[in-house]
């Protein structure tokens, strides 16, 4: 803008100089024309020549008249050129002036656009700040809900492992007791047989002195006097399986790793496993023990493998939660607005568990899914065929 202003001022000065020069040329030309007009007749020119005192003077006067005529022509040409230059400079001045006005309008328009853009950005920042605060509150509430869910899962796993260990210990103790009683009974029978054999031998050989009767102790006392086998200590391990059916189900579930179906038909994963930045606010970190899957409103959550419902819970900000056991594995289906199963139900693959909740103001339903092997959380993406 400053450069154009400088050019406009320079052109204005140039136009003023050309105008002054043109006016001067016109004034001088007017005097020439006036003088020529006064001496316009050929008689006057001849008289001017013939009135010379000698030939040299006449020659000089002739040359003067010729030069004067040429000078008049040159003045006309100079004036014409000055007029053309003035017209060109005026045109250039008008163009520069027009450019200046156009640029000024453009800059004003750009300034207004920048002001509008700044205003919009300020509003956007204000809106984003407000959204970020709301999101942080929502994330904190969600974090509390997920921590409550994790505590519930860990408590359930610990309870199942404890029951499995107790059952294994009970079976081991029962087997030890059965073995002890079997050994005691075999020893009792052996002693009775020995006594019977001695009595029979005494009867068959009368000359022999009858043996003194063997003082037999009560069976219970005999069993107490015998060293008992050491009682088996309770078995402790990270497994919830006791029965052959549970063991087989564990192996079958693990054998289908990478081929298990999605818990939602036509769903899309929008939040992956582990810690990662939020999709909209990169400065906010999210820790996810599973994956989040969105689908159409009213979508059904479906069990990914045969199993048994271990628990149906309600957790604030996660709604209903269904936990299904597959031997040593657990699958967790959270954020259901309604459930169609109950604890203890035997389920088949792809059986519906309930309707996934759609949050107010949202256009998609959202399922939070987790997969655990005993006390160890797994990345579902490595197990599901999504």
Q: What's the pLDDT score for residue 251?
A: 93
Measured distance CA(325)–CA(307) in Å, rounded: 5
Q: What's the pLDDT score for residue 183?
A: 87
Q: What is the pLDDT of residues 363-377, one digit of tens each?
A: 999 999 999 998 899
Residue 206 has pLDDT above 70, yes or no: no
Q: Which residue has the higher pLDDT, 342 or 1?
A: 342
Q: What's the pLDDT score for residue 8?
A: 60
Q: What's the pLDDT score for residue 227?
A: 47
**No. of helices (H) and no. of strands (E), the chain:** 5, 12
Q: Which residue has the higher pLDDT, 10 or 384?
A: 384
Residue 273 has pLDDT above 80, yes or no: yes
For the beta carbon of residue 311, count every other beta carbon within 10 angstroms. Answer: 19
Q: Which residue has the higher pLDDT, 225 or 343?
A: 343
Written as one string, the DSSP assignment of 36-105 is HHHT-SHHHHHHHHHT-SSHHHHHHHHHHHHHHHHHHHHHHHHHHHHHHHHHHHHHHHHHHHHHHHHHHH
pLDDT band at 51 (very low <50, low <70, confident <90, very high): confident
User: Comparing 35-39, 118-122, 247-251, 339-343, which segment has the lowest mean pLDDT?
Assistant: 35-39
User: Comparing 28-37, 108-117, 275-284, 361-370, which segment has the lowest mean pLDDT?
Assistant: 28-37
Mean pLDDT of 176-195: 85
Residue 230 has pLDDT above 60, yes or no: no
Question: Which CATH architecture describes the domain 244-382?
Answer: Distorted Sandwich (2.70)
Tokens coding 19 = 């105008």
Backbone angles phi, psi at 243, to 5 degrees: -80, 160
Tokens coding 199 = 């009595």
Mean pLDDT of the chain, nearest integer: 80
Q: What's the pLDDT score for residue 179?
A: 86
Residue 226 has pLDDT above 60, yes or no: no
Q: What is the pLDDT of residues 309-364, one digit of tens each?
A: 999 999 988 999 999 999 999 999 999 999 999 999 999 999 999 999 998 888 99
Q: What's the pLDDT score for residue 348?
A: 96
Q: Cβ distance 9 to 101 under 8 Å?
A: no
Task: Indicate the domain borders of the chain.
Answer: 2-122, 176-225, 244-382
């Amino acid at each position: 803008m400053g450069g154009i202003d400088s050019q406009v001022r320079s052109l204005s000065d140039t136009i003023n100089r050309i105008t002054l020069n043109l006016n001067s040329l016109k004034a001088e030309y007017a005097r020439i024309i006036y003088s020529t007009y006064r001496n316009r007749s050929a008689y006057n020119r001849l008289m001017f020549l013939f009135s010379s005192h000698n030939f040299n003077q006449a020659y000089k006067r002739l040359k003067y008249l010729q030069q004067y005529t040429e000078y008049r022509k040159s003045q006309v040409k100079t004036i014409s050129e000055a007029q053309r230059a003035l017209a060109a400079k005026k045109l250039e001045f008008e163009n520069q002036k027009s450019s200046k006005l156009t640029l000024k309008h453009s800059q004003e328009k750009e300034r207004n656009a920048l002001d509008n853009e700044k205003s919009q950005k300020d509003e956007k920042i204000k809106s984003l700040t407000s959204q970020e605060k709301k999101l942080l509150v929502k994330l904190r509430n969600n974090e509390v809900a997920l921590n409550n869910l994790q505590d519930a899962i860990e408590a359930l796993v610990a309870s199942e492992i404890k029951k499995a260990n107790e059952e294994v210990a009970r079976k081991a103790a029962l087997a030890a007791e059965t073995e002890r009683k079997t050994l005691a009974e075999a020893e009792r029978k052996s002693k009775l047989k020995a006594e019977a054999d001695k009595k029979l031998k005494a009867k068959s050989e009368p000359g022999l002195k009858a043996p003194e009767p063997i003082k037999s102790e009560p069976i219970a006392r005999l069993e107490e006097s015998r060293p008992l086998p050491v009682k088996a200590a309770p078995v402790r391990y990270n497994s919830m399986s006791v029965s052959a059916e549970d063991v087989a189900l564990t192996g079958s579930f693990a054998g289908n790793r990478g081929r298990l179906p999605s818990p939602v038909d036509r769903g899309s994963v929008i939040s992956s496993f582990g810690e990662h930045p939020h999709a909209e606010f990169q400065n906010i970190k999210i820790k996810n023990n599973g994956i989040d899957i969105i689908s159409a409103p009213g979508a059904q959550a479906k069990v990914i493998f045969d199993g048994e419902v271990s628990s149906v819970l309600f957790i604030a900000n996660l709604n209903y939660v269904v936990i299904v056991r597959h031997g040593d594995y657990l699958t967790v289906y959270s954020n259901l607005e309604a459930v169609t199963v109950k604890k203890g139900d035997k389920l088949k693959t792809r059986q519906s568990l309930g309707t996934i909740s759609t949050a107010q103001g949202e256009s998609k339903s959202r399922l939070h899914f987790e997969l655990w092997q005993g006390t160890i959380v797994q990345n579902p993406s490595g197990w599901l065929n999504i």
